[in-house]
Amino acid sequence: MTATPDLVLYHGPNSRSLRARWMLEEMGLPYTLEPVAFDRRPIGDDAYGEIHPLRKVPVLRDGADLVRDSIAIMEYLAARHGPTDLVLTPAEAEYGRFLEFLQFGEAGMLMPLNLVVAHTALLPEDQRNPSLAKWGRMECDKLLNFIETTGLAGGREYLAGGRFTAADISVGYSVYLLKILRQFDRSATGVDAWFKRITARDAWKRASAT
């Protein structure tokens, strides 16, 4: 019998740690949630700086192992604590597509999204640059259009493999961020329907509850 994992998730409200928490909930793994103070920059305290020198969330602690990236945490949980249908195996059709959207949620979406966050909300008002916010917003609209026309092409219900996977969690978190920032392009109706579908899951409700 495999020993019960000793998992701790360092978490911040509405942050990328939601991806890791959603994955933990989908997999039904027991974990302890460790809130990191988000009302200051850098986040957390000096003790947290020992865990993540960049003072970012999420971090997953699994016994002696530390994983400091939301996408890496999802891959780690599937590989170390699976098996799980939340990832595609290399032998499956659409494995490449699965990897593409798994990475796209972070590497493809977060740079323009961060610009929007920084220049509409995060920075003090006198440091915000409306041109950068506008450019970020235009890029986000292109990204939503890409999800609509390519990710969900032909009435797909999920991004890859014909089932809900970690790729939906990865991109789903970024779309969640666009929505709470009120930057979601209302013309992306297919994305909207997909987002409603994936966030109707009990695991998301538990992950986003507090």
Ligand X SMILES: N[C@@H](CCC(=O)N[C@@H](CS)C(=O)NCC(=O)O)C(=O)O
In the complex, the residues that contact ligand X under the rule CB under 6 A are 12, 15-16, 41-43, 56-58, 69-71, 106
Residue whose CB is less far from ligand X, 15 or 165: 15
Residue whose CB is less far from ligand X, 43 or 207: 43
Structure-block tokens of residue 26 = 């989908």
Smallest distance from the beta carbon of 67 to ligand X, in angstroms?
Answer: 9
Smallest distance from the beta carbon of 93 to ligand X, in angstroms?
Answer: 27
Tell me the β-bridge partners of 34: 10
Using DSSP bridges, classify how beta strands 32-35 and 59-62 pair: parallel, antiparallel or unpaired. Answer: unpaired
Smallest distance from the beta carbon of 57 to ligand X, in angstroms?
Answer: 4
Smallest distance from the beta carbon of 59 to ligand X, in angstroms?
Answer: 8
Residue whose CB is less far from ligand X, 14 or 187: 14
Question: Residue 113: which of 135, 81, 88 has the closest Cα?
Answer: 135
Residue whose CB is less far from ligand X, 165 or 170: 170
Structure-block tokens of residue 162 = 């014909």
